[in-house]
Amino acid sequence: MSKFMKLLVVALAITAFGAGMAQAREQVKIVGSSTVYPFSSYVAEELGATTKFKSPVVESTGSGGGHKLFLSGDGLNTPDITNSSRRMKVSEFEKNSANGNTEITEALIGYDGIAVAQNGGNDDFAITKDELAMAVAAMVPVGGRLVKNPYMTWNQINPKLPNRKILFYGPPTSSGTRDAFGEMVLGKFAKKHKDLYGPVSPKGKAKKYVSVRQDGVYVPSGENDNLIVQKLTKDKNAFGIFGYSFLEENSDRIKAAKIDGVAPKPDTIAGGDYPISRSLYFYIKKSHMDKVPGMKEYVELFMSERMIGPRGLLKRIGLVPLATELRKQMQKDVLSYKNLRLEDLKH
């Protein structure tokens, strides 16, 4: 064998070995929602500190970005778990199935409210959910017609509101928070004005509501909600849109606006009184369960009473726990790794 051929054989062997190593992971890989990220990271750190397993790697990619990575296949170069601040979409389930992820378990962990927050030094602020929609939507009804949003100050929407510049720092299109905000605020508003916005689906989606303003009033601020908090500490005109946990963590610097007369608090979120409340999830790729060390133990720890119970550790950082009966059922379903079905997502 020539010297060149020997070198070629060695190079190919090294390449094959490297590929094999890439498939043999020692840490759980988790992607997805920035809202679920603090809870997921807490559990990951606790697993690393209290067991023989390495702490899982958790990345904040946004719910949409996480689902896209998760559904790309079932190889060990894809995530084991994706966090989500909305439920998996039917289209995402179908793409998972097409790409070999035929067994997925859905874990509902608790609730979160979408806070509309401002600088803590400001006067208290209270608006209706419709007024919030009129401040953010790209198209709004004016004089019986749907027009490009003309409102630049709050008193233009309602004379009783202050003459204050309208400015929002909020999540990008890849975010589950953006999806949930769109459905619960813009979608519900569009449903009230379906004669102008067009056909509205049972989920509250209308053809023309889907976009927020593109005129600089709504500024997409990435998947790092801490950056939005920082902006609010510097700009007293601005509002930030993010999950309740970030409001809880930064209550010394920012405070929430009341929506329809209700402030986001654990009891108002869990009871559904706060009008922008949503459920939080993570999704498990079952084909990885026996291949990635610590994956089973991470799921068990996350779903434990110690973490998601009414006195659990995650409540301390902003998670709103599930009601007892629902929580017990969810723990049973997740720890038996019940398969998510397409029919479940159509309810």
- Of 227, 251, 277, the last residue of a domain is 277
Q: Are residues 180 and 324 in the same domain?
A: no
Domain annotation covers residue 131: yes
Q: Judge whether residue 224 has pLDDT over 60.
A: yes
Name the pLDDT band for 313 (thresholds 50, 70, 90). very high
Q: Are residues 177 and 255 in the same domain?
A: yes
What CATH code is carried by the domain that includes residue 333? 3.40.190.10
> What pTM does this model have?
0.76
Q: Judge whether residue 225 has pLDDT over 80.
A: no
**DSSP letter string, 74-90:** SSTTS-SEEEESSPPPH
Q: Find the DSSP H helices in the chain.
A: 3-23, 37-50, 63-70, 90-98, 129-136, 154-157, 176-181, 188-192, 194-197, 225-234, 244-249, 266-270, 295-302, 305-308, 324-335, 342-345
Q: Are residues 130 and 240 in the same domain?
A: yes
Domain annotation covers residue 273: yes
**Using one digit for the tens of pLDDT, what is the confidence trace for 113-141?**
999 999 999 999 999 999 999 999 999 99
Tell me which residue range forms the domain holding 311. 26-111+280-345
Q: Are residues 310 and 211 in the same domain?
A: no
**Using one digit for the tens of pLDDT, what is the confidence trace for 55-80?**
999 999 999 999 999 999 999 999 99
Buried b (16+ CB within 10 A) or exposed e, 216-242: ebbbbbebebeebbbbbeeeeebbbbb
CA dihedral sign, ordered 11, 16, 17, 23: positive
Please give the tally of structural domains in the chain: 2
Name the pLDDT band for 163 (thresholds 50, 70, 90). very high
Q: Judge whether residue 346 has pLDDT over 50.
A: yes
Domain annotation covers residue 326: yes
Q: Which neighbouring-strand residues pair with 212?
A: 137
What span, in angstroms and rounded, lies between the C-alpha atoms of 247 and 206? Answer: 30
Residue 20 and residue 9 in contact, taking contact as beta carbons nearer than 8 Å: no
**pLDDT, the chain, mean:** 89
Domain annotation covers residue 13: no
At 22 the pLDDT is 46
At 10 the pLDDT is 40
Structure tokens belonging to residue 341:
């079905």
Name the pLDDT band for 226 (thresholds 50, 70, 90). confident
- Of 277, 303, 323, the last residue of a domain is 277
Domain annotation covers residue 20: no
Q: How far is CA 60 from CA 39, 215, 272, 285, 294, in A?
A: 12, 27, 27, 18, 20
- Of 250, 277, 304, the last residue of a domain is 277
Q: Are residues 32 and 169 in the same domain?
A: no
Q: Are residues 124 and 204 in the same domain?
A: yes
**Using one digit for the tens of pLDDT, what is the confidence trace for 167-206?**
999 988 888 888 889 889 998 898 888 877 776 555 555 4
**Using one digit for the tens of pLDDT, what is the confidence trace for 16-56?**
434 433 456 899 999 999 889 999 999 999 999 999 999 99
At 86 the pLDDT is 92
